[in-house]
Amino acid sequence: MSEIETVRVEIPTPLRGLVDGRPVVEARGTTVGAVLEDLAGRFPALRTHLFGPSGTVRGFVSIYLNQEDIRYREREATPVRTGDVISIVPAIAGGAADPAAVGLSPEEMLRYSRHLLLPEVGLRGQRKLKEARVLLVGAGGLGSPTATYLAAAGVGRIGLVEFDTVDLSNLQRQILYTTEDVGRPKLEAAAERLRALNPEITVVPHPGPLTSANALDLLKEYDVVVDGTDNFPTRYLVNDAAVLSGIPNVYGSIYRFEGQVTVFAARSGPCYRCLYPEPPPPNLVPSCAEAGVLGVLPGVVGVLQAIETLKLLLGTGEPLIGRLVLFDALALRFRELQVRPSPDCSLCGPKATQRGLIDYPDFCGVAAPGHSPASEAPTILPQELAERLHGRDPPLLLDVREPEEWAIARIEGARLLPLGELAHRVDELTGAREIIVYCKMGGRSAQAVARLTELGFRGVRHLDGGIDRWRRDIDPSMPRY
């Protein structure tokens, strides 16, 4: 018996509405006919468009295997191999006088004139963009360039999910905002900027965080969701809601000088859980606020997300489905890795067990976005620490940040011992009766407390809220970063 192969089937625009709007679907079989049968079995509405009453491929549908018409091979009995590409090419009426493709005002014709000159876009494609609906979760470093280019391109309805306010530290990378916006809700400033850029589009603000209670209702109003999040609970939530809603998820992430981009293809997979079945332990992966990020990096990654979104909406090009692009800004190097649908995926796999949304902060072991993380490590408040440091028997004050952070600001009397060096320099702490640890916001210091406690140290606590809270409560003159 021949081995069953996995084949990519390219779906033409007229038939995409029958396969959840996807331009490419993977199907299995040993021959072209078996692959098409597998496809029709999963998407029953497609069957009448492909097969006639006798069960053979209809005469007005041409089938190509790797750019060769199967009628000149063995027709439906033509064997296939994993990695082959089947193209479905139905007869279409065509014609430039289609009124549905010309629904643009004179102002829009001029605004999008460079798009209209592209055969891959043209009048019909620009109309698709005008009718498209895209939801961006997050209007920060990634969301800023993505939203800007989608608005400029003429995506008719752009939804924004955001609950934060503009901070001065955002402006190094979040190009939707200006210095005058500091202190304003990001949602308000972003919507204003996008409407000013293109008054022909509709910007829909969705205040507050995305949650398990509102995600499915929100996503059902959109064609594509773009993940511009900066935390694992929301990232898993976006993925799961996209899979359950049957819409593609354009994923991007950044860290210091590196970025990742891919497209997760709804129910067919792969999805984010295929790539990362479980989240990292809390505080293991530092945020941009702790690790830093090159300001232009989210611009590059966000623009790539915008490109992928436009390709999905236009039904052109080759989306990054099943391909993970890694970008190294320091080396200016792109790499591409394959991402396969996992047969063990609990959400999109053949034996999926997850049928709804879950408690994502609990799943990731962290606090919900917009809330302070809970920590089991014992803490000390800034005021008490200030009193202890000026007392007769001050504790050993340990700063576990990096030297670059130490150079910006530090608490007087502290000793620098970066968290990554703690394990092999722990002898330097021998004899300390009491140790107080601090970092920027409390995540790394909580890890340090846990490690020191495991090593037998007693009386170890960490500064609640880190040096960031110390600056607010004790020393406002301290530089903020």
* Structure confidence at residue 268 (pLDDT): 76
Contacts of 429 (CB under 8 A, 6+ apart): 396, 398, 417, 435, 452, 457
Report the distance separating Cα 278 and Cα 342, nearest Å: 13
Of 364, 388, 411, the residue at which a domain comes to its end is 364
Average pLDDT, the chain: 90
- The answer to whether residue 346 sits within a structural domain is yes
Task: For the beta carbon of residue 217, count every other beta carbon within 10 angstroms.
Answer: 10
In a domain, 288, yes or no: yes
Give the model's confidence band at 251: pLDDT under 50 very low, under 70 low, under 90 confident, else very high.
very high
pLDDT for position 423: 87
Q: Does the pLDDT at position 416 exceed 90? A: yes
Same domain membership, residue 336 and residue 273 = yes
Active site residue 271: no
- Does 302 reside within a domain? yes
Instruction: List the structure tokens of 206.
Output: 């969705």
Q: Residues 84, 155: one domain?
A: no
Strand-pair partners of 437? 398, 462
Q: Answer yes or no: is 284 within a domain.
A: yes
* CA distance readout (Å), 263 to 241, 321, 325: 14, 5, 10
Residue 310 · residue 287 · CB < 8 Å? no
- At 344-363, the pLDDT tens digits run 999 999 988 999 999 999 89
pLDDT of residue 286: 66
Residues 32 and 138 in one domain: no
Same domain, 256 and 385: no
| Together in a domain, 48 and 188 | no
Share of the chain above pLDDT 90, in %: 73
Can you give the pTM of this predicted structure?
0.67
- Nearby residues of 196 by Cβ (< 8 Å), 6 or more positions away: none
Q: What is the pLDDT of residues 88-113, one digit of tens each?
A: 998 875 543 343 434 789 999 999 99
Pairing between β-strand 61-65 and β-strand 85-90 as defined by DSSP bridges: antiparallel
Could you tell me the CA-to-CA distances from 423 to 322, 418, 444 in Å, in that order?
39, 10, 14
Domain count, the chain: 3
Within a domain: 465: yes
Kindly state the helix (H) or strand (E) to which residue 43 belongs, with its residue range. none
Joined tokens for residue 74: 């063995």
Is the confidence at residue 328, as pLDDT, over 90?
A: yes
Mean pLDDT in residue range 50-76: 87
**390 and 339 within one domain:** no
Q: Is 289's pLDDT higher than 80?
A: no
Nearest alpha-carbon partner for 441 in 401, 402, 412: 401
Could you tell me the residue range of the domain that residue 34 belongs to? 5-90
Whether residue 198 lies inside any domain: the answer is yes
CATH of the domain at 429: 3.40.250.10
- Residue bearing the bigger pLDDT, 47 or 381: 381
- Indicate if 439 belongs to the active site: yes
Q: Is residue 275 part of a domain?
A: yes
With cut-offs at 50, 70 and 90, classify the pLDDT of residue 368: low
Residue in 288, 345, 348, 364 annotated catalytic: 288
Indicate if the pLDDT at residue 372 is higher than 60: no
Do 188 and 277 fall into the same domain? yes
> Which of 338, 364, 390 is at the close of a domain?
364
Number of H helices, E strands in the chain: 17, 18
Instruction: Give me the residue label for tokens 């436009």.
Output: 310
How many C-beta neighbours within 10 Å does residue 38 have? 19
The CATH number linked to 280 is: 3.40.50.720
- Asked whether residue 302 carries a pLDDT value surpassing 50, the answer given is yes
Most confident of 37-46, 89-98, 359-368, 388-397: 388-397
pLDDT of residue 367: 59
Do 82 and 166 belong to one domain? no
CA 345 to chain centre: 18
Q: Which of 271, 274, 345, 439 is catalytic?
A: 439
The string of DSSP codes covering 300-359 is HHHHHHHHHHHHHHHT-S---BTEEEEEETTTTEEEEEE-PPPTT-TTTSTT----S---
Q: For residue 420, what is the enclosing H or E element?
A: none
Give pLDDT, residue 17: 76
- State the pLDDT at residue 54: 78
- The mean per-residue pLDDT over the stretch 393-407 comes to 94
Which of 460, 441, 442 shows the shortest CA–CA distance to 450? Answer: 460
Alpha helices in 43-138 (DSSP H): 47-50, 106-111, 113-116, 122-131
**pLDDT at residue 329 in the model:** 97
Produce one character per residue of 375-407: b if its CB has 16 or more CB atoms within 10 Å, e if not.
Answer: bebebbebeebeebbeeeeebbbbbbbbeebee
Q: Do residue 182 and residue 306 come from a single domain? A: yes
Report which residue type is found at 52.
G
Tell me what pLDDT residue 462 has: 96
Q: What is the CATH number of the domain that holds 24?
A: 3.10.20.30
Nearest Cα to Cα of residue 375 among 278, 279, 464: 464
Residues 82 and 178 in one domain: no
Asked whether residue 297 is domain-assigned, the answer is yes
Question: What is the Cα–Cα distance from 425 to 469, expressed in whole angstroms?
Answer: 27
